[in-house]
């Protein structure tokens, strides 16, 4: 278990998950976080990663860095989603083990489960069926990262553990219209429609797919619970325990933003997997429960968006 002076490297600390994990680590008294921006350390550069680990020798590593994006970005850039994420996982996991890290937590994703699988999805469903084509490249890279963790554990006794977060949202997310995930995309679209007095807003797909949304701050407390109390090859789902349709999400966001116009659905856009709700029995056995209800979490994220991005994105 890491102590307050443990040297903890959080890879991806500027992103949605990584920034929440850093906030949490600092809030509970960890004083020795090791952080590098993308400009300072390119995690796809094997030699640079090796040099960094040789110099810093972190005792704990949280691998929250990844090339991520929503359904459209995944479908449009499979090369980057596969290649970049494979290289990040291979470089960081190998260097962490080679330079004596005591523990590594790898963040995988709920999209690595089969497209059609019993709900709520248990960890045992991994590799039991075909993947969702719209995010196959990302999923294959994340499955490879997970398998690397299991391989280093089995072959070298390296304490690498794997979390499977559901669809995350919160501050420090990306809110660009085309390549972001659904929740930030809709927050921005409804906000801009309200500001412009637009009569309607278009939401992609049929509105029927169901998703399990978790605030990144809840993910962060789950990651700490795993760092402190989990050491096993089996990955651990981290979800909210419930789900909501995209139509219901759009209506909730419209209500929070205060948008009163019409909502249209565009069936020419992909739906992705029809449902994706995680079984959270394993993580709740570590005495973790989600604390942030969806409406409150979206309200807080919307405040953050208005304070940090709304002016900037309005001019794009
Ligand atoms: P996924 O969970 O991997 O499919 O990732 P996303 O967060 O990108 O998309 C979830 C669902 O939201 C899909 O069914 C999309 O069709 C739907 N959706 C509706 N409007 C949007 C939008 O503006 N952006 C995105 N990314 N998805 C949208």
Any idea where the domains of the chain sit in the sequence? 7-173+213-242+275-293
Please tell me the residue having the least CA distance from ligand 1 atom 22: 182
Q: Residue 71 Cα, ligand 1 centroid: separation in angstroms? A: 6
Cα 159 to chain centroid distance, Å, stands at 21
Q: CA of 282: how far to CAs of 177, 226, 238, in Å?
A: 35, 11, 9
Does the pLDDT value for residue 311 go beyond 90?
no
pTM (2 decimals)?
0.96
Tokens linked to 305: 């968006």
Q: What is the layout of strands, in order, in the sheet containing 60-63?
A: 33-34, 8-11, 60-63, 103-107, 160-165, 236-238
Measure the CA–CA gap between 63 and 49, rounded to whole angstroms: 13
Measure the CA–CA gap between 97 and 261, rounded to whole angstroms: 54
Report the 10 Å Cβ neighbour count for 127: 12
Pocket test for ligand 1, best of 66, 67, 71 (most atoms within 8 A of CB): 71
Q: What is the model's pLDDT at position 316?
A: 39
| CB-based contact 111:138 (threshold 8 Å) | yes
Q: What is the mean pLDDT of residues 139-143?
A: 98
**What CATH number is given for 7-173+213-242+275-293 in this structure?**
3.40.50.720
**Model confidence pLDDT, tens digit, residues 11-41:** 999 999 999 999 999 999 999 999 999 999 9
Q: Check residue 115 and report its DSSP letter.
A: S
Q: Residue 296 Cα, ligand 1 centroid: separation in angstroms? A: 21
Pocket test for ligand 1, best of 121, 175, 181, 268 (most atoms within 8 A of CB): 181
Q: Residue 182 Cα, ligand 1 centroid: separation in angstroms? A: 4
Residues above pLDDT 70, as percent of the chain: 98
């Amino acid at each position: 278990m890491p102590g307050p002076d443990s040297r903890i490297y959080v890879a991806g600390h500027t992103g949605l998950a990584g920034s929440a994990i850093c906030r949490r680590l600092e809030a509970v008294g960890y004083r020795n976080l090791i952080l590098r921006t993308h400009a300072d350390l390119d995690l796809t550069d094997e030699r640079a990663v090796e040099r960094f680990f040789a110099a810093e020798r972190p005792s704990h590593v949280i691998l929250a860095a990844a090339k991520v994006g929503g359904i459209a970005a995944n479908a449009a850039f499979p090369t980057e989603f596969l290649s970049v994420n494979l290289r990040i996982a291979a470089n960081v996991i190998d260097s962490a083990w080679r330079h004596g890290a005591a523990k590594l937590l790898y963040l995988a994703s709920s999209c690595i489960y089969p497209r059609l699988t019993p709900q709520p999805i248990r960890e045992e469903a991994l590799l039991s069926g075909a993947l969702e084509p719209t995010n196959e490249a990302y999923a294959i890279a994340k499955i490879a990262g997970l398998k690397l963790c299991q391989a280093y554990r089995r072959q070298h006794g390296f304490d690498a553990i794997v979390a499977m977060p559901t669809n995350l949202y919160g501050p420090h997310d990306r809110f660009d219209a085309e390549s972001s995930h659904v929740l930030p995309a809709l927050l921005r679209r409804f906000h801009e429609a309200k500001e412009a007095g637009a009569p309607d807003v278009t939401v992609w797909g049929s509105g029927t797919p169901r998703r399990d949304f978790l605030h990144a701050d809840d993910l962060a407390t789950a990651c700490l619970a795993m760092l402190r109390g989990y050491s096993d090859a089996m990955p651990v789902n981290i979800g909210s325990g419930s789900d909501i349709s995209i139509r219901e999400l759009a209506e909730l966001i419209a209500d929070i933003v205060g948008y009163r116009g019409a909502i249209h659905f565009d069936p020419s856009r992909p739906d992705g997997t029809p449902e994706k709700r995680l079984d959270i029995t394993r993580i709740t056995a570590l005495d973790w429960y989600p604390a942030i209800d969806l409406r409150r979490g979206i309200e807080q994220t919307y405040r953050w968006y208005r304070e940090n991005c709304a002016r900037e994105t309005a001019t794009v």
